[in-house]
Structure 1
Amino acid sequence: MTDRYEGSFYGRRKGKPLSPRREALMENELPRLALDLATPAPEDLKTLFDADVDEVCLEVGFGGGEHLLHRARTNPRVGFIGVEPFVGSMAKAVNAVVGEGFRNIRLYDDDAVNVLDWLPEASLDLAYQLYPDPWPKKRHWKRRFINEQNLDRYARAIKPGHEFRFASDIDTYVDWTLRHCRDHAAFEWAAETASDWKTPWEGWPSTRYEAKAIREGRIGRYLTFRRV
């Protein structure tokens, strides 16, 4: 996982071959669900969705999609933009979105920096980055998505007073993110007690990755930063 792609994404995009059905979904349905970054973003992101929504939330790197889909099911008045460059994960999400008839999800299957740069200023009500690739080797830390430039991107897109949420079970990445966000003038850490960063957010669905981490003795940390 050492190849660099456009923007800040590193790693492989493809794993096992898709089934013919999922290949067809990716070819026929993803274009309908995907953001079209070749056209200017609408001033009001709520118009991106077929459903009537009151808020718009971004999830960068949704992996297996458990969190994205759960949040969309339980919050039908919220529009969700999900970004995931890994083909297998995107195909799984497209299958669920089509199968369940979601009308409050839009997708993007490339580098998240493209979406963050495309979004209008102060257009997001909430942004998540959950259990991202931690690049645990020190020589690879420069590949971590959380850095000054990408925090600038988040800060531009998130509405003042609203939140950026980050979760990880890798202590070095938790410390890294906490330091970078606390050093960034646009964000303040919202935690007041230890339970605020040890406890998942309300409505949190446990994911397969989180369950695996717990089995292996790693504990998730849940950081909330307010866009000042």
Structure 2
Amino acid sequence: MRDDGATGDGPVRRQIWGRRLGPGLKPARRKLLEERLPGLQIELPEQGRLDPASLFPGRMQGFRLEIGFGGGEHLAAQAKANPHLGFLGVEPFMDGVGKLVAELDASGTDNVRILADDARLLLRVLPDACLERIDVLFPDPWPKLRHNKRRIVNRQTVPEMARVLRPGGELRLATDIVDYARWMLDATLAEPRLAWMAERADDWRIAPPDHVPTRYQAKAEREGRPATFLRFRAAS
């Protein structure tokens, strides 16, 4: 079994670091997860590909993926604003999953499906050109040099992201860590199927028009760390 983080033809070892369940998950939230999550969670196939359309009862006009949705603020808002689209959300930490499920339950939003696991496991089973957008917003920067290999945006995962984007689809990345922004650019500019959309400095300083700020982004801004927004278009 490979353990280098690659996402090619060989098996992928699940890689989740840190505590998956924090102290903030109260009994009522646990009960809600027990009741609602089974109907929302993504079951990965042991073999073959996973058609996103099979996850939703109705016909969706397209599909998006958010990797590491945190508390789910951005994902829930995007899903509510785009009921014609199916949203796949990945977050291994159950506190965040609980927050998203609570929001979906309260709003009656039913076009989100959730994987509480390693995002690479989902990327590898998705069909080619099946997504119109992927968002990776303020992922854990793993700032220590020896931990950099844990970063979800890297030269192994970016080719898989490019593969599952439809022609003209978009990859959106955001970080408040300058070193991670450089790291992201190194990985994405090395992928020939992706083109950086920036034409001027404001294109990476200002969030896209439909961006919904997250609590982590607000914390970074309070602490004086401005965000970098990177957008890439998949080759036609």
TM-score (norm 2): 0.89
Whole-Å separation in 1 of the counterparts to 2:160 and 2:111: 23
Query: In structure 1, what is the equivalent of residue 31 of structure 2?
Result: 24
**Secondary structure in 2 aligned to 1:23?**
helix
Cα distance in 2 for residues equivalent to 1:42 and 1:207: 29
Q: Render the CA deviation track for 1:175-225: whole Å, top value 9, x for unaligned.
A: 110111101222121111111111111122222211111111100011001
Conserved 8 A contact 1:51-1:104: no
Alpha-carbon separation, structure 2, partners of 1:46 and 1:142: 32
Q: Quote the residue 2:118 is aligned against.
A: 111
Q: Does the 8 A contact of 2:63 with 2:87 survive in 1? A: yes
Which residue, out of 16, 22, 33, partners 2:40?
33
CA contact (8 A) 1:53 1:78 kept: yes
- For 1:57, the equivalent position in structure 2 comes to 64
Contact 1:50–1:103 (CA<8 Å) still a contact in 2? Answer: no
For residues 97 and 174 of structure 2, the distance between their equivalents in structure 1, rounded to whole angstroms, comes to 20
Unaligned runs of 5+ in 1: none
1:152 equivalent to 2:159? Answer yes
Alpha carbons 2:50, 2:125 under 8 Å: kept:
no
Q: Which runs of 5+ in 2 are unaligned?
A: 6-11
Q: Is the 8 A contact 2:45 2:125 kept in 1?
A: no
Which residues of 2 match residues 170-209 of structure 1 at below 5 A?
170-209=177-216
User: CA offsets per residue over residues 120-178 of structure 1, 9 Å max, x none?
Assistant: 11111100100000011122111111112111211221112211110000000001101
Percent of pairs with identical residues: 42
Give the structure 2 partner of residue 14 of structure 1.
Answer: 21
CA contact (8 A) 1:6 1:111 kept: no
State the Cα distance separating 1:81 from its structure 2 match.
0.5
2:152 is matched by which residue type in structure 1?
A: F
Matching residue of 1:120: 127
Correspondence 1:75 to 2:91 = no
Task: Give the 3-state SS of the residue equivalent to 1:29 in structure 2.
Answer: helix
How much does 1:111 deviate? 0.5
Tell me the C-alpha RMSD between the 2 structures: 1.9
Query: Which of 98, 104, 116 is the equivalent residue of 1:97?
Result: 104
- Residue of 176, 180, 184 corresponding to 1:169: 176
Deviation at 1:6, TM superposition (A): 4.1
2:93 aligned residue: 86
Aligned letter for 1:48? L
Report the AA paired with residue 23 of structure 1. R
Q: Residues of 1 paired with 2:102 and 2:13: CA distance?
A: 26
**Whole-Å separation in 2 of the counterparts to 1:193 and 1:17:** 42
Q: TM-score, normalised to structure 1's length?
A: 0.92
Give, in angstroms, the shift of residue 47 of structure 1: 4.1
CA offset at residue 22 of structure 1? 1.6
Q: For the Cα contact (< 8 Å) 1:87–1:109, is it kept in 2?
A: yes
Question: Is the 1:57–1:127 contact (alpha carbons within 8 Å) kept by the matching residues of 2?
Answer: yes
Contact map agreement 2:44 2:50 (CA 8 A) in 1: no
